[in-house]
Amino acid sequence: MIDRPFFINQVLTALKRAPVVALLGPRQCGKTTLARMIAGDDSIFFDLEAVSDRRRLQNPELVLGAASGTVILDEIQAMPELFPVLRVLADRPGRRTRFLILGSASPHIVANVSESLAGRVEFIELSGFILDEVSVSADRKLWVRGGFPRSFLAKSEVDSLAWREGFIRTFLERDIPQLGIRIAAAALRRFWTMLAHYHGQTWNGSELGRSLGLSDKTVRSYLDVLTGTFMVRQLQPWHENIAKRQVKAPKLFLRDSGILHALLTLNNLHELIGHPRVGASWEGFALEQVLQSVGPSEAFFWATHGGAELDLMFMRGGRRYGVEFKFSEAPKATRSLHTAILSLQLEHVWIVCPGKHVYPIDEKITVCPLKDIKGIAAHIK
């Protein structure tokens, strides 16, 4: 088992502030394990996918209202009718109970959660393992296998790939229908595989729809499902009133590199390094690591139709910062990057790469190996 102090501290701090804390993330990313690590002797645990626990909650206001300490409700999306009950209990005067709810779907997928618990809930998003939690020397292994605990900790590459393929099947055939979403597993699998080939590119619903023989509206609904279940990240474009035509479609990434490689049928590092999408795969992997390390409230990319672009932009303390991802041992600052710095008035930019040394290119540009990305977070504090 790998300790996860960063996320544990986040949850414990949130439980002191809010009556309800929602720990959200994809299936099998370690939410239940983390909750059990946090749970004290006075905690009560309900698995809402277990028939026995659902029966215990036939009168939820009575049962949960009598509880004390921390109440953990696992897979909350299985019983969305609990959200109004939690609102009532959270508003009771002199309450001493805290509720930790675990979910595998975003508030946009689970009906009424945001409305029911507005002002009472704090959201924390849990990913699979990140580079901070594993040995720096295991960065290639984490990239190839992804961060899902069972995939990363598997005894062999074959076992890891077998787990990921099983995860994909179970997700499509069981998890999606349990959310009340009626999409044929085969159709969503084809779309998901197509997205893997578009990983790191801007969204073009018309092109994807034509390739799959589906309407723009249908492929957009498929994308929203995969986004809402934490399988896909839509990195939104930044645009402002400058004298350039800017890209206004989101950029798409499969959030777990191991799932990406399974969908691309890449079995090991050797096959990955020789694949045309190796650069895009590494960019998506590095992007997730930086977002987890820096933790911006919002993140964007920027691109113009003239070719200038910036892979990641975020704000901290009223200042703008940028990150470029280069799958190169010795990356250089491009003309495009200098254009982004001037157009967006960036305070500083880091070029994140798989190299070994941190070094400045000029006053506003620093090359930063992926293993040293904590330095980015330290710089902007």
**Residue-wise pLDDT tens digits, 198-242:** 999 999 999 999 999 999 999 999 999 999 999 999 999 998 877
Residues with Cβ within 8 Å of 331's Cβ and at least 6 positions away in sequence, in order, are: 324, 351, 353, 355, 367
For 134-164, write each residue's pLDDT tens digit.
987 899 999 999 999 999 999 999 999 999 9
Q: Is the pLDDT of residue 92 over 80?
A: yes
pLDDT of residue 114: 62
Q: What order do you get walking across the sheet with 348-353 strand by strand?
A: 251-254, 232-237, 300-303, 309-316, 319-325, 348-353, 365-369, 359-362
Report pLDDT for 80: 85
Read off the pLDDT of each residue in 88-113 and give the average, rounded to a whole number.
81
pLDDT value, residue 191: 97
pLDDT at position 110, please? 61
| pLDDT tens by residue, 22-60 | 999 999 999 999 999 888 777 899 999 999 999 999 999
The pLDDT tens digits of the residues spanning 314-341 come to 999 999 999 999 999 989 999 999 999 9
Torsions phi, psi of 331, nearest 5?
A: -70, 160
* pLDDT classification of 130: cutoffs 50, 70, 90: very high
CATH architecture of 131-380: Orthogonal Bundle (1.10)
CA distance 182 to 204: 23
Residue 61 has pLDDT above 80, yes or no: yes
Q: Tell me what the mean pLDDT of segment 343-366 comes to.
A: 95
Residue ranges covered by each domain of the chain: 5-125, 131-380
pLDDT of residue 203: 96
Q: Supply the mean pLDDT for the chain.
A: 92
Look up the CATH number of domain 5-125: 3.40.50.300
HEC string of the chain? CCCCHHHHHHHHHHHHHCCEEEEECCCCCCHHHHHHHHCCCCCEEEECCCHHHHHHCCCHHHHHHCCCCEEEEECHHHCCCHHHHHHHHHCCCCCCCEEEEEECCCCCCCCCHHHHCCCCEEEEECCCCCHHHCCHHHHHHHHHHCCCHHHHCCCCHHHHHHHHHHHHHHHHHHHHHHCCCCCCHHHHHHHHHHHHHCCCCECCHHHHHHHHCCCHHHHHHHHHHHHHCCCEEEEEECCCCCCCCECCCCEEEECCHHHHHHHCCCCCHHHHHCCCCHHHHHHHHHHHHHHHHHCCCCCEEEEECCCCEEEEEEEECCEEEEEEECCCCCCCCCHHHHHHHHHHCCCEEEEEECCCCCEEEECCEEEEEHHHCHHHHHHHC
pLDDT (0 to 100) of residue 242: 76
Q: Closest by alpha carbon to 121, among 106, 105, 101, 104?
A: 101
Give the C-alpha separation, 317 to 301, whole Å: 19
Residue 115 confidence class, pLDDT cut points 50, 70, 90 = low
Q: Report pLDDT digits (tens) over 62-86.
A: 999 888 889 999 998 888 889 889 9
Mean pLDDT of 181-195: 95
pLDDT score of 146: 97
Q: Would you say 102 and 74 are in contact if contact means Cβ atoms under 8 Å apart?
A: yes
pLDDT at 111 over 60: no
